[in-house]
A and B are shown apart, each in its own frame.
Chain A
């Protein structure tokens, strides 16, 4: 009986973003005790298209990085340099610096390059992942133009002692070990998680850059990562909660040469970062107040002994959020707050410049439920950076509950991204930053619907949702050759992305086997709308590089008596690798099938899960970008042990 209930929970999480009343009741009950400490502002995103990452998906992907998870399960489009290499998300046809990545509400994106390497985020350190398509800079701030990835940690009081360990090993020298211990009392929680992972990634591939093509194995492309996440929550009084988090990680990556280059690389990239977050929240009836202060220090040390090159870079960020939330009756809520961010970067190629930015943002959001069917929300953000104002970023959205099963929404927003330190201050051979760059601005909107039915039976559900969007990004910063040898960034590009996103899921229980079929598909046209001096006119109206027009996935999941089978087929359409879309240089579409099989056992307080994973089942030959092949068929096996000794009541 208990197992059955859990199965339903897994199933329902998929529909978490679909607010059928019955399910809302369920999730409210389930999430009652859970603390998620992030900005309250995300509750004003009442109508965004969300790619749901359910807890089962997260569990299946917990032996890898966030980049691996998003790629394997087809969430958004991940641009990467192969296993372990730099990976960034491109949501709704935008660039790698157009996705804000927030950890418990704190923006982790580097001020140096405007992105976060998703291969450096272990899934096991994150309890809750959500990918929101569409820009929402009014709520999430700088860089939320294509979408936002939210990474949250969760905790619950009074759960007793929990110990967990997860071991995973597989092809190409892959190994992953995570271990955690937590103690949760009535007023205090402390938890510590550590992980270590390494892989050689010396997989074989067919190098078609030679004639005749020859089989080779990838060289110098291994990685080693280790980290610790320490979290504490303290319920000071009934009204005051304090939390303190600490995250340290050390990542060594052997940067390989592309397969065009016959010699083996010796370059290494070492990322060490330290993130700490202190939060305090105070609640009183219809008012609550919160403060978050975060300090991030990130060191990147790039070395290439062949070129006698040592290139260190560091950034420090100090982020402060203060927020006040008011709710008047049940139907009106208001959040207003301010963010102060101090950021600085030290990079050898900035010469003697050590840029510092002081950023103060004012944000307000308002939500209203006029009547029983409507919900309206509006928000804005205005940021002052070293004394100059960024473009005003407002958003407005409305949602209509047409029937218990059907709702529709519309929203419009103006979003922004400020230039990176590299864009502004780079000086050195080959590149010259441009201190006069303007902030990128996007204006867009979307409309969509969700339809969902439980068909009068808790064991059967159907959901369907879709959205169409249109988004113009102006002043898009592009590095262009200033002379034959020196490149410099300009606010020169104008991009129009528009498209369709849709997903459907059926959940049905047949003879104690719970089946879940789900699929999503996206159509994205993201085209260059600007022609500037000394550019090939043929680029006008062409699809951006590394942006597939078609993308989709289909998955089947079956759960029975602790067994779980998960099969996913992930399709990435053709991607152009040049700006005038020549077919010769295009990367072919590919279709990757992966499957997971696991069995859960329970013995008293101990729960064990034995799992197997088979990736690229059909041994499809594909590349993540030209010269960066991806592995053929490969496997992993894993064992998870969870021990929970509840507090004696």
Chain B
């Protein structure tokens, strides 16, 4: 009995210790993305080969520019389009240089590069050995997903998607690919089963969908740029198809499409979502807009009236990061706002900052 009691206590202790360990390790595993900092992708001025990567260290509250060059002694290439951190490796897509540079996300050292990509755009990690890179094709029309063997950094397969395969979203084993048209037009999202690399569904959206997010209720949201048309005075208001924000239900069909009010040069893009999955953000008409996922109409007032080249939502704290590319011929900046729209700080980045990558 007593022994039993001791045994029980010991077992409990053991369990609690194990639990403690477990809770420790599980809390380790769920360290919030972006806790240590994030990367800023500086696209550079097109053709000048001056793209770069900056790193924001959260503890030091400071940005270090040109980390790729400083660590590796060479420049990144021409037109860095995006970066994704996956399993602590940074996949930097350098579109006009037709390559992906892979770095160690902690010390920025080069691990290798993926070539054989005509016009790559974005990366999404599938497993430790597999990744997807969306690609526009040299003509800007032939959009594909390049399946990458992450151990050898080679292309193993090409999946045809649509014109201008762009940003992707992975939900379980499904990858949603927005076809933003590239140099042409498209109005679809292709859904790929990443276990078979086969297309399992096609979702029709507004013209030229460019970015996609999942909300807390499992709905998908898509920002579409529309189709611009010009006449002698500028934008042809009649022929232009305005951009939109679409809500897609779990059955892969459009629930509704909210069309923006104006035909403008900057169309809806850079759709982002708060870490709790309840608030959407997008850029449109020289401003950032904020919208609850419960909304059924587009916001009429801007969250921040300032034109940003790119925008990212800090997955650690929900801050809104506007990337200001200024004139693409000198260092740009990032402005960091809290979710209420207060400007918290501004940091100098590299030339043409277009987005962030969280590790």
On whether the beta carbons of B118 and A263 are closer than 8 Å, the reply is yes
Whole-angstrom distance between the Cβ of A259 and the nearest chain B Cβ: 8
Q: Within 8 Å of chain A (Cβ to Cβ): is B115?
A: yes
Interface SS of A by simple majority? loop
Q: Tell me whether A261 and B69 are in contact in the complex, defined as CB-CB below 8 angstroms, given that A484-B309, A534-B324 are known contacts.
A: no
Complex partner residue of A351 from B47, B66, B74, B231, CB under 8 angstroms: B231
Please tell me if the beta carbons of A263 and B138 are within 8 angstroms of each other in the complex: yes
Point out the residues of chain B lying under 8 angstroms from A211, CB to CB. Answer: 72, 74, 110, 113
B77: chain A residues within 8 A (beta carbon): 209, 260
Whether A260 contacts B96 by the Cβ 8 Å rule is yes
Q: Within 8 Å CB of B316, what residues of A?
A: none
Q: Is B21 an interface residue (CB 8 A)?
A: no
What are the residues of chain A within 8 A of B265 when measuring CB–CB? 432, 482-483, 485-486
C-alpha spacing A260/B48, complex, angstroms: 9
How far is it, in angstroms, between the C-alpha of A538 and the C-alpha of B65 when the chains are bound? 15
Q: Taking the complex as formed, is A626 at the interface, i.e. its CB lies under 8 A from any CB of chain B?
A: yes
Q: Does the CB pair A484–B307 fall under 8 Å?
A: yes
B183 interface residue (CB < 8 Å to A): yes
The minimal Cβ–Cβ distance linking A605 to chain B, given in whole angstroms, is 53
Is A127 located at the chain interface by the 8 A CB criterion?
no
Instruction: Tell yes or no: B326 within 8 A of A by CB.
Output: yes
B37 to chain A, nearest CB (A): 22
Which of A584, A585, A627 is B47 in contact with, Cβ under 8 Å? A627
Output the least CB separation between A484 and chain B (Å). 5
Q: Which residue of B lies closest to A488 (CB)?
A: B265
Asked whether, in the complex, the Cβ of A209 is within 8 Å of the Cβ of B308, the reply is: no
A578 and B327 contacting across the interface, CB-CB below 8 Å: no
A626 touches B330 (CB 8 A): no
Q: Of residues 66 to 101 in B, which have CB atoms within 8 Å of A's CB atoms?
A: 66, 69, 72, 74-75, 77-78, 96-99
What range describes how many residues of A lie at the interface? 35 or more
Q: Check A535–B232 contact: CB distance below 8 A.
A: no
Q: Which residues of A contact B330 (CB under 8 A)?
A: 535-536, 538-539, 542, 578-580
Task: Report B93 CB to chain A, min CB distance, Å.
Answer: 14
What is the interface size of chain B, counting residues whose CB is below 8 A from a CB of the partner? 52
Q: Kindly state the separation between the CA atoms of A352 and B98 in the bound complex, as whole angstroms.
A: 36
**Complex contact B98–A261 (CB within 8 A):** yes
B50 with A481: CB separation less than 8 A: no
* Interface positions of B from 302 to 359, Cβ below 8 Å from A: 307-310, 324-333, 348, 351
**A646 in contact (CB, < 8 A):** no
Bound-state Cα–Cα, A539 to B283, Å? 27
Known: A211-B72, A258-B47, A261-B96. A578 touches B140 (CB 8 A): no
Task: Give chain A interface residues in 515-565, CB to chain B under 8 Å.
Answer: 534-536, 538-539, 542, 545
Measured between C-beta atoms, what is the minimum distance from B239 to chain A in Å? 12
| A window 580-626: CB within 8 A of B | 580, 582, 584-585, 626
Q: Mark B258-280, 1 if CB is under 8 A from A, else 0.
A: 00000011100100000000000
Contact of B75 among A209, A258, A308, A351 (CB under 8 A): A209
Task: Give the chain A neighbours of B47 by CB distance below 8 A.
Answer: 258, 260, 627
Cα separation A578 to B52 with both chains bound (whole Å): 13
Residues of A within 8 A of B332 (CB): 536
- Inter-chain contact A306/B97, CB cutoff 8 Å: no
Cα separation A209 to B75 with both chains bound (whole Å): 7
Is A262's CB within 8 Å of the partner chain B?
yes
> Does chain B have a CB within 8 A of A173?
no
Nearest chain A CB to B232's CB is how many angstroms away? 5
Whether B78 and A262, one on each chain, are in contact in the complex, defined by CB atoms closer than 8 angstroms, is no
Q: Which of B50, B140, B232, B333 contacts A536 (CB 8 A)?
A: B333
Tell me if B139 and A427 are in contact (CB < 8 A).
Answer: no
Say whether B230 faces chain A, with CB atoms less than 8 Å apart.
yes
Counting CB contacts under 8 A, is A215 at the interface? no
Interface residues of A in 255-302 (CB under 8 A from B): 258, 260-263
Contacts A211-B110, A481-B325, A483-B286 given; does A428 touch B230 at CB 8 Å: yes
Judge if A353 is at the interface, Cβ distance under 8 Å. Answer: yes
- How far, in whole Å, are A485 and B208 apart by their CA atoms in the complex? 15
Asked if A31 is at the interface (CB within 8 A of a chain B CB), the reply is no
B229 to chain A, nearest CB (A): 10
In the assembled complex, which residues on chain A have CB atoms less than 8 Å from the CB atom of B98?
261-263
Q: How far is the CA of A425 from the CA of B307 in the complex (A)?
A: 24
Q: Which single member of B99, B118, B234, B326 contacts A427 (CB below 8 Å)?
A: B234
* Of the residues A261, A308, A427, contact of B232 by C-beta under 8 Å: A427
Tell me which residues from 398 to 454 in chain A have a Cβ below 8 Å from any Cβ of chain B. Answer: 427-429, 432
In whole angstroms, how far apart are the Cα atoms of A535 and B332 in the complex? 8
Q: Which of B95-128 contact A (CB under 8 A)?
A: 96-99, 110, 113, 115, 118
Residues of B within 8 A of A481 (CB): 309, 325-328
Q: Which residues of A contact B154 (CB under 8 A)?
A: none
Given contacts A308-B139, A483-B307, A584-B69, contact A579 B50 (CB under 8 A): no
Task: Enumerate the 8 nearest inter-chain pairs by beta-carbon distance, A residue then B residue, closest first.
Answer: A580-B330, A260-B78, A483-B266, A579-B330, A486-B265, A579-B329, A536-B330, A483-B265
Binding site for A on B (CB under 8 A): 45, 47-50, 52, 66, 69, 72, 74-75, 77-78, 96-99, 110, 113, 115, 118, 138-140, 183, 228, 230-232, 234, 264-266, 269, 283, 286, 307-310, 324-333, 348, 351
Sampled A-B contacts (11; CB under 8 Å): A258-B47, A258-B49, A261-B98, A306-B138, A481-B328, A482-B265, A535-B326, A578-B50, A579-B329, A584-B50, A584-B52
